Structure 1
Amino acid sequence: MSIKDFNGTTPVFLPERFFDGCLEGWAVLESLVGGLQKRAVIRAEGRWSEAEGTVHFTEVYRFDDGHEDTLHWAIHKVADGKYNGSEPRLEGPAEGYQAGCAFNWRYTRNTPQKDGGAVKLNFDDWFYLIEENACIVRGSAGRAGLPFGTAHVAYRKIS
């Protein structure tokens, strides 16, 4: 699948618009063979800075096993349809591409685990805007180029 496949689709997903405000979300994480591994409730809030061309976006994942993971994103609009980003646990920059209703976001992150350790995972997340205040995400995670699991996430913008 290519981001270009979504040219002309609506509504248009713009990270600087969707991530500006408060969001709530829900996630399920599945193993490579489809078994449920974890569930999470997500609270998020972002602020778009026109002057910086950046969305400052914080997500808090509260997993059913009791641990939390907080991400502090800075998502920079580089050009129409092109983004890069940073987050304290990233290894290198995140890269994003947008077309129509879709946004593809790729990055490598040292992801905290319940036991206090961290696992380096490569993420390939596809956001699809369903309507102005709702999107669905299908994310895949892997290690060393091998698939590890899939996340299904629903976000609703609440302000």
Structure 2
Amino acid sequence: MMSYKSLITFIAITALATLAACSGKPRVPKTFLSDRQLNLEEFFAGKTVAYGQFQDVLGNVPRRFTVDIEGMWNGETLTLVEDFLYDDGATEQRIWTLTKTGEDGWTGTAPGVLGTASGIERGDTFNWTYKIDLPIKEGTMRVNFDDWMWLLDDDRLLNRAYVSRYGVRLGEVILFFEKI
């Protein structure tokens, strides 16, 4: 039988986890912040650099990184070669293959991604969701990404990704992309 103190602690932790998981996330807008039109195939064609960090739900920033990206669009497929350099010196490469599935839709695959990622591009906004076995120091961790991107101007894109596992938010990845 659970003690009263243990029960109160359990309820408090459950309530906090539920609040963290349910806290506001963006939605694909019906109206837009600007009249800009994000076209992934145009934005990511050529070289792009991204600067980012992961922040856990407690506000800690355990990892920062930069990503050099080479993008190639062949009229049907957008290939993104992403070379990560973490602040601890670790490196990683991820190669995305994205396919445009209609006026607003995208699908994609990359090593470590389970199944197919899917996304929708509307106005200056792109939302991208996928499940991935994310490399960590101890091996890999299976997490869900809910990526949101906003075109700030022709050369800059802001990205906020909500990272969760088993429906519980672990933290967020904030990235700033810049064409070079």
Alignment of 1:39-118 (within 5 A): 39-50=64-75, 53-115=76-138, 117-118=139-140
1:8–1:31 Cα change, 3 Å: closer
Structure 2 stretches of 5 or more lacking a match? 1-25
SS at match of 1:13: coil
Name the structure with the higher strand share: 1
In structure 1, distance between residues paired with 2:98 and 2:32 = 21
Name the structure with the higher helix share: 2
Q: Percent identity?
A: 26
Report the TM-score when normalising by structure 2.
0.82
Equivalent in 133, 136, 139 of residue 155 of structure 2: 133
In structure 1, distance between residues paired with 2:79 and 2:61 = 31
Report the TM-score when normalising by structure 1.
0.92
SS at match of 1:34: coil
Structure 1 stretches of 5 or more lacking a match? none
Structure 1 residue 92, shift from structure 2 partner: 0.7
Paired residues of 1:103 and 1:128 also in contact (CA < 8 A): yes
| Greater RCO, CA 8 A, separation 6+ | 1
Rg larger for: 2
Paired residues of 1:138 and 1:150 also in contact (CA < 8 A): yes
1:6–1:34 Cα change, 3 Å: farther
SS at match of 2:157: strand
In structure 1, distance between residues paired with 2:69 and 2:93 = 9
- State the partner residue of 2:18: none
Matched, 1:18 2:46: no
In structure 2, distance between residues paired with 1:36 and 1:2 = 25
In structure 2, distance between residues paired with 1:8 and 1:35 = 30
SS at match of 1:93: strand
The alignment's C-alpha RMSD in Å is 1.4
Aligned length: 155
- State the partner residue of 1:34: 59
